[in-house]
Amino acid sequence: MNNKQLEEQMIENYKREEHMMILVFAQWCINNDLNPAALYHSAYPDQPNNEALEKALELTVPKEEAGEVADDTLLGVLSLFGNEELAFIVTQEIDKRLRQNR
């Protein structure tokens, strides 16, 4: 495998993992009765609609059918991809939920 092939493979792996991160985010939102697109827009107001998020939403399932996505899991995945702005918005939503459940 030459350097160009290796580089292409690394890029494809990153894209696949990024799509998985987006799917985890979208499912977490669905599981918590939140709008993924609205949260994403809160974190990144200057960005247009995220096509990868729209595609991920097609793969989500109703929360009754979904497995749990732990808050810490989502925050860890967002951190791995440097989505600090989105992690901040997610943290705010987690705090709201915890205050409501007191």
Instruction: Tell me what the pLDDT averaged over the chain comes to.
Output: 93
Q: How far apart are CA 61 and CA 51, in angstroms?
A: 18
Binned at pLDDT 50, 70 and 90, residue 94 comes out as: very high
* Long-range contacts of residues 78-85, Cβ cutoff 8 Å, at least 24 apart: 78/21, 78/25, 80/21, 81/17, 81/18, 81/21, 83/21, 83/43, 85/43, 85/44
Binned at pLDDT 50, 70 and 90, residue 7 comes out as: confident
Q: How far apart are CA 84 and CA 10, in angstroms?
A: 23
Average pLDDT over residues 51-59: 93
Stretch among 6-15, 25-34, 66-75 having the lowest mean pLDDT:
6-15
What pLDDT shows up at residue 78?
96
- Split into its structural domains, the chain has a count of 1
Q: Is the Cβ–Cβ distance between 18 and 56 less than 8 Å? A: no
Average pLDDT over residues 59-71: 95
